[in-house]
Amino acid sequence: MPAIPRNFVARLALFGIAWCIGLELLTRLFLVSPSNVVPDPTLGSKYAPNSTVLIETPDAGFLRVSFNEFGFNDGPLAPGDHRRRILVLGDSYVEAFQLPRTQNFLGIMGRDRPDLRFVNGARSGLDPVTESLMLEKLAPLIRPARVIILVNSGDPADMLADGITVRRCTGTQGICDYTLRPIPPLHRSRLAGLLSGRSALLTYLLRRFQQPIDTQWAHLRGRLSPNARPGAATRAPGAYAAKDFEPLLALVFRRIAQRYGLIVVAVPDLQFESAGRSAAADGGAFEKRVGAAALKAGAVFFDAGPALMSAYARSGQPPNGFAFRRPGTGHLNAEGHAAVAHGLERYLGAFGGAAAG
């Protein structure tokens, strides 16, 4: 057996270090930046305030996103800016990482209505219930004069996953109150959080493999659990169900509208055909439920479906969907954001002009 050179281990270690450094540099240049996600006591996690990351986008390649003092995809709130503030809540449809901020609907409305300050308070993965938690946290800091909340067709499923318990009004189908299962803090070890905050390579690996691993682990635990047998699981008393979507929305909207002027925006799924024809994928049922909830709450309702259909009729290109998705699905593209902005501006009327609170 040939003898191993004395410096073989040292050379191997140096090669491994150089290889890792090279991968780290390539990841930073062409894939992602180190993670800027930090724990948050209210929502489990948030983007680190005043941080900047490189994000891969489906059409533009890469986009450098800077976060303001609240950890949102928006500019800072200037202390001397006394314009009235309109806080816009939503999920990734409003967060809009796929576009430069000047091309999302907040940027367009801000350009068209320079007398108002539109504040992006959206974060991916939220829904109207968790967005109301975001509002409670942000309102004392931002002091909005009006709130816009965007609801899309993915929100009903997100609300089912929230772990909501409802208290129904006596003798009616309405909901008088609800409680939300505590949101766990950011699920990762302190060491993983420390390293991913400094390493783009580890950030990429965690994003690429953590969800499949968690899914398989949850599936395995379900198979091994004695309560996983068919018929063994039971619904908790008062558990939120799909039929509760409209009455729970009405309660959430009412609580917001009692303190602020509220505009509710519904973005439905659309079916696109040739020759510029399009229609709501479910016959309009989703936006009807959202609109009914807004009406019960005394909020202003804007159905963005017709505006998006008109944009498709004009251009022949679906106003949502990017290169990584089937055309016509997924997040709003630049055309879709413009359609929402110009449609929503009609509901702002002469609002504005006075100082923020």
Please provide the DSSP assignment of 44-60 as one string: EEEEPTT-EEEEEETTT
Write b or e for each residue in 119-136: b if 16 or more Cβ atoms lie within 10 A of its Cβ, otherwise e.
bbbbbeebbbbbbbebbe
3-class DSSP state of 89: strand
* 65 found inside a domain: no
3-state helix, strand, coil in the chain (%, to 5): 45, 20, 40
∠ CA 59-65-70, nearest 5°, is 140
pLDDT band with cut points at 50, 70 and 90 for residue 5: low
* Cβ atoms of residues 93 and 337 within 8 Å: no
**CATH number, residue 143:** 3.40.50.1110
Q: pTM for the whole thing?
A: 0.79
Q: How many domains does the chain have?
A: 1
Mean pLDDT of the chain: 80
Q: Residue 299, Cα to own-chain centre: how many angstroms?
A: 22
* 34 found inside a domain: no
Residues 164-168 have a mean pLDDT of: 92
Residues 274-284 have a mean pLDDT of: 83
4 against 219, higher pLDDT:
4
Residue 355 confidence (pLDDT): 41
* 126 found inside a domain: yes
CA distance 339 to 313: 12
* 280 found inside a domain: yes
* 142 found inside a domain: yes
CA distance 250 to 175: 9
* Cβ atoms of residues 279 and 270 within 8 Å: yes
Q: Which of 103, 70, 76 is nearest to 89 (CA)?
A: 70
Residue 40 confidence (pLDDT): 81
* Cβ atoms of residues 7 and 32 within 8 Å: no
CA distance 121 to 91: 9
* Cβ atoms of residues 93 and 332 within 8 Å: yes
* pLDDT exceeds cutoff 80 at 6: no
pLDDT in tens, 112-126: 999 999 999 999 889
* 297 found inside a domain: yes
Cβ neighbours of residue 142 under 8 Å, at least 6 residues apart? 70, 77, 85, 87, 119, 121
Amino acid at 345: E
The percent of residues above 90 in pLDDT, for the chain, comes to 46
Residue 221 confidence (pLDDT): 45
CA distance 4 to 253: 72
Give me the residue label for tokens 């008109």. Answer: 310
CA distance 58 to 123: 19
Question: Residue 322 sits in which domain range?
Answer: 78-191+239-348
Cβ neighbours of residue 202 under 8 Å, at least 6 residues apart? 192, 195, 196
* 82 found inside a domain: yes
pLDDT in tens, 335-352: 999 999 999 999 987 665
* Cβ atoms of residues 129 and 218 within 8 Å: no
* pLDDT exceeds cutoff 60 at 234: no
Residue 323 confidence (pLDDT): 57
Residue 103 confidence (pLDDT): 94
* 208 found inside a domain: no
Q: Helices 285-297 & 245-257, crossing angle to 10 degrees? A: 40
3-class DSSP state of 254: helix
